A and B are shown apart, each in its own frame.
Chain A
Amino acid sequence: MNLTLYVWRQKGPKDAGRLVRYEAKDVSPDMSFLEMLDLVNEGLVRKGDDPIAFDHDCREGICGMCAQVINGIPQGPQKKTTVCQLHMRHFKNGDTIYIEPLRARAFPVIRDLVVDRGSLDKIIQSGGYISAHTGGVPDGNAILIPKDDADRAMDAAECIGCGACVAACPNGSAMLFTAAKVTQLATLPQGRTEAARRVCVMTEEMLGQGFGNCGNHYECQAVCPKDIKVQFIAKLNREFIKARLK
């Protein structure tokens, strides 16, 4: 099939950036969206033009690197699917596709579709872990964890840190990302000791990094490729209140 693309091109953080039109020819329905971009890029390189810069690595939906905005939707139109797992069979011949970087105050554009998501790491650095030193920990079975709790922690832990939730949020909030980590660790007995401090410092760091606050729009859950639920935000809020009451 043949497609018309409008792709955001921006040389660097200071460049204004613009949408540029490209024709993608002979696209196979079995290609992934990134393989379609590979095809366009090879054509550009052959002509001596700069290829479109985009982030990617695993190409199997788990590293979280490839997030971009397709037709206005972070991570593209297919529910619960990263861009690298989106296949061209979901488009049809003659379609026009708009491709842009994730947009948020906390994610400055580096080049074309590549953005800086280092602010998400800063949130984790503030307290998104259990402070367990290497060695000197108890046997894995010394702590029994009810299966439901382990499953719930795992549901939250599936977040791939792609940042789609931030780009979808009208406030540019990283609340879903933060809440997922808070929930994972607060649901497990190992993580309870630091739970109160963790929820406070992580929320504070999130706001400090230029992310907005949660306005209950729930756009985040709608675009999340891993189906992380907004219930975790409610859990974060409960943890936050508990911490404040202490």
Chain B
Amino acid sequence: MILDGKTPSGPLPEKWDKRKQEMKLVSPANKRKYRIIVVGTGLAGASAAATLGELGYNVESFCFQDTPRRGHSIAAQGGVNAAKNYPNDGDSIYRLFLDTVKGGDFRARESNVYRLAQVSGSVIDQAVAQGVPFARDYAGYLDNRSFGGAQVSRTFYARGQTGQQLLLGAFGSLMRQIRVGSVKLHPRTEMLDLVVVNGEAKGITVRDLVTGEVSSHAADAVCLCTGGYTNVFYLSTNAAGSNVTATYRAFKKGALFANPCFTQIHPTCIPVTGDHQSKLTLMSESLRNDGRVWVPKTKGDSRAPGDIPETDRDYFLERKYPAFGNLAPRDISSRAAKEVCDEGRGVGPGGRGVYLDFANAIGRLGEGTIRERYGNLFEMYGQITAENAYQQPMRIYPAPHYAMGGLWVDYNLESTIPGLFVLGEANFSDHGANRLGASALMQGLADGYFIISYTIANYLARATPGAVTTNHAEFLKSREDVACFTSKLLAINGKRTVNEFHRELGRLMWENVGMARSEASLKSALSLIPRLRAEFWENVKVTGTGTELNQELEKAGRVADFLEFGELMALDALHRNESCGGHFRVEYEMPDGEAKRDDENYCYVAAWEFKGVDKAPELHKEPLTFENVKLAVRSYK
């Protein structure tokens, strides 16, 4: 099957307007007859639910946390991009588009990225109107900072808590709709199945995490806004609950999964300290604006950082990428850090770390300015490591962070199952093989505030509202399947904990499907994962029952899905015989160590179709055509 991205024809800047004009509308009086399920209350989900509620649809909003305000987006630190060109430094919609396409190593769909850049400005306007306290200058204007992969300042921020403030803005709008009654909230509720009736998405089956009750909800359309899957690596910067369950189970119901191997390893995270560790903490990329990355020039130099003179230091990013320096894109910076550590020049316990040094910036700007810019990050670093980064450099190392891959969607954000829309990190559409900093928040909010409201109407206008109820045979079957899955997990009563399996899977994924992948490592992953999965289903121990709050059971379900999904990732990585963005295959590298793309053979989106557990999924391709940018070797030198 050749996949149709449904990109509108015509010149790039006019595509979105054209599509908006082509699309059908639902009249105001009819909107309340339509029920829409929105799963997830991160930026994408909260903004979508609030906006659809405002328009008059009947919205049901779901999240597994106790309140929507805790969606994982809350943790985003650095900022949100928009092509406002307030600083007058040469930015434009076209430049943001170009940076994003190039940053993604030419593996994203041009039309989607352009639209994202087009609506980016409205995202900022919307947030300001909601009372998001973005940083301002002394004249009262919005302030900007720069972020990796760009040579202009287009990142808006609210101290080191941009995600929190944007989410609380969307949360406020959502709360308003809940009060009005247009949105009904289901917190502490986990989606465990998508219900497909006659080939269209018509509802979900969920488990109430407090009572354990399994129930279904019918709707006229379903939006999945359930975030990314990097917790497949066990240790990642994601929240503990972030998972692949919602999207993976939709995959099992027929939605194609696109580019699962495109995962982002973020260069600036606090290094691992021990086996007890449950997550890795990101130190925002914005720190690279003022921090300089270095390691000792010679292997085994064990002097304290302050005792190493300038001449003995290697500022390797500035050396290798003079044009971008410490602001080189994430995939490139991560790989460079790995390289110097592989050479034995890493610092800190275990030698897996590089310095991020602020001494220069503090000397130039004073400690006060640095404190104002990054105070909360320095504090967080201090709490975790017991080190004072004002006095000695931070130690950082790359860690799994973001999923560029996700459910395949067309230009309308609709998956291959009609009526199933996918927004935010859960879809694959805008970031290609590598996401630039500060562009996930932009995308989640663009999808939720400004795109879904048009595209979902176009689908609903053709559907009869309330056509299916939860008494339909497909719903009955779905509830049975979920209940059966739960009892199966509880019945195993083996010897190893869920966490043990998750840790082992994570280690295996990191070693074999992590920052550097080879044919051999991927093949080894493909033989190890099914074995671990088989052991899980024989030997996992899940305590308690299904009819109570049972966090072991919740984790077990998620890990069960990761144990299947990991295999899909490895398979995708093995089939893609090229290096691009975050996907680095050691066999395909340029003489200078950079990623070697193969546009001749791999300039497409790889979308996988589920064929059964333990069966090979089927590959479908969406060819990528670039009409407006020239395919070129990415250079940040």
> Interface of A with B (CB < 8 Å)?
11-12, 28, 30-32, 34-35, 38-39, 42, 44-46, 48-51, 53, 55-65, 80-81, 85, 87, 89, 110-111, 114, 116-118, 120-121, 124-126, 128-135, 137-141, 143-147, 150-151, 153-154, 157-158, 160-161, 184-185, 188, 190-191
How many Å lie between the Cα of A116 and that of B209 in the bound state? 12
A124-B175, A158-B161 are known contacts. Are A51 and B133 too (CB-CB below 8 A)?
Answer: no
Contacts of B210 in A (CB 8 A): 110
B72 interface residue (CB < 8 Å to A): yes
B171 interface residue (CB < 8 Å to A): yes
Q: Check A129–B130 contact: CB distance below 8 A.
A: yes
Q: Check A130–B172 contact: CB distance below 8 A.
A: yes
How many Å lie between the Cα of A60 and that of B281 in the bound state? 7
Contacts of A63 in B (CB 8 A): 65, 70, 72, 74-75, 239
Partner pick for B277 among A35, A139, A146, A154, CB 8 A cutoff: A35
Q: Check A12–B66 contact: CB distance below 8 A.
A: no
Q: Mark B353-372, 1 if CB is under 8 A from A, else 0.
A: 00000000000000000000
How many Å lie between the Cα of A179 and that of B622 in the bound state? 52
Contacts of B240 in A (CB 8 A): 56-59
A120-B67, A184-B131 are known contacts. Are A126 and B179 too (CB-CB below 8 A)?
Answer: yes
Contacts of B175 in A (CB 8 A): 121, 124-125, 128-129
Q: Check B541–A45 contact: CB distance below 8 A.
A: yes
B84 interface residue (CB < 8 Å to A): yes
Q: Check A50–B75 contact: CB distance below 8 A.
A: no
Contacts of A144 in B (CB 8 A): 139-141
Q: Check A161–B69 contact: CB distance below 8 A.
A: yes
Q: Across the interface, name the chain B residue whose C-beta is closest to A154.
A: B133
Contacts of B449 in A (CB 8 A): 134-135
B278 interface residue (CB < 8 Å to A): yes
Q: Check B131–A55 contact: CB distance below 8 A.
A: no
> Interface of B with A (CB < 8 Å)?
47, 50-51, 54, 65-70, 72, 74-75, 84, 86, 121-122, 124-131, 133-142, 156, 158-159, 161, 164-165, 168, 171-173, 175-176, 178-179, 185, 187, 210, 239-241, 273-274, 276-279, 281-282, 379-380, 383-384, 386, 449-450, 453, 495, 497-500, 541, 543-544, 548-549, 551-552
Partner pick for B86 among A34, A57, A64, A141, CB 8 A cutoff: A141
A57-B241, A121-B175, A141-B86 are known contacts. Are A154 and B67 too (CB-CB below 8 A)?
Answer: no
Interface centre among A56, A65, A125, A134, by most B CB within 10 Å?
Answer: A134
Q: Check A161–B67 contact: CB distance below 8 A.
A: yes
Contacts of A87 in B (CB 8 A): 383-384, 386
Q: Across the interface, name the chain A residue whose C-beta is closest to B64.
A: A57
Q: Nearest Cβ distance between residue B275 and chain A, in whole angstroms?
A: 9
How many Å lie between the Cα of A118 and that of B384 in the bound state? 30
Partner pick for A134 among B185, B383, B453, B498, CB 8 A cutoff: B453
Interface centre among B51, B133, B158, by most A CB within 10 Å?
Answer: B133
Give the number of A-B contacts (CB < 8 Å): 213
Q: Check B278–A34 contact: CB distance below 8 A.
A: yes
Q: Nearest Cβ distance between residue B576 and chain A, in whole angstroms?
A: 32
Q: Nearest Cβ distance between residue B31 and chain A, in whole angstroms?
A: 14
Contacts of B549 in A (CB 8 A): 53, 110-111, 114
Q: Check B67–A45 contact: CB distance below 8 A.
A: no
How many Å lie between the Cα of A28 and that of B274 in the bound state? 9
How many Å lie between the Cα of A118 and that of B164 in the bound state? 19
Partner pick for A85 among B66, B86, B156, B383, CB 8 A cutoff: B383
How many Å lie between the Cα of A56 and that of B133 in the bound state? 26
Contacts of A49 in B (CB 8 A): 543
A28-B274, A130-B172 are known contacts. Are A137 and B126 too (CB-CB below 8 A)?
Answer: yes
Interface centre among A34, A45, A85, A146, by most B CB within 10 Å?
Answer: A45
Q: Across the interface, name the chain B residue whose C-beta is closest to A187.
A: B133
Partner pick for A153 among B69, B133, B179, B241, CB 8 A cutoff: B133
Q: Check A65–B173 contact: CB distance below 8 A.
A: no
Partner pick for B176 among A39, A59, A125, A138, CB 8 A cutoff: A125
Partner pick for A60 among B75, B273, B276, CB 8 A cutoff: B75
Q: Check A58–B133 contact: CB distance below 8 A.
A: no
Partner pick for A118 among B130, B187, B239, CB 8 A cutoff: B187
Contacts of A132 in B (CB 8 A): 126, 129-130, 173
Q: Nearest Cβ distance between residue B637 and chain A, in whole angstroms?
A: 34
Partner pick for A58 among B75, B453, B495, CB 8 A cutoff: B75
Nearest 8 CB-CB pairings of A with B = A129-B172, A144-B140, A137-B129, A132-B129, A153-B133, A154-B133, A140-B128, A150-B136
Q: Check A157–B165 contact: CB distance below 8 A.
A: yes
The contact sample of 6 A-B pairs, CB cut-off 8 A, is: A62-B75, A87-B384, A137-B125, A139-B125, A144-B141, A158-B161
How many Å lie between the Cα of A135 and that of B51 in the bound state? 9
Contacts of B142 in A (CB 8 A): 140-141
Contacts of A137 in B (CB 8 A): 125-126, 128-129
Q: Across the interface, name the chain B residue whose C-beta is closest to A124.
A: B175
How many Å lie between the Cα of A65 and that of B165 in the bound state? 16
Partner pick for B66 among A45, A53, A65, A135, CB 8 A cutoff: A65
A38-B276, A147-B136 are known contacts. Are A124 and B158 too (CB-CB below 8 A)?
Answer: no
Q: Check A62–B172 contact: CB distance below 8 A.
A: no
Q: Across the interface, name the chain A residue whose C-beta is closest to B349.
A: A30
How many Å lie between the Cα of A133 and that of B273 in the bound state? 46
Q: Check B274–A30 contact: CB distance below 8 A.
A: yes
Q: Check B65–A57 contact: CB distance below 8 A.
A: yes
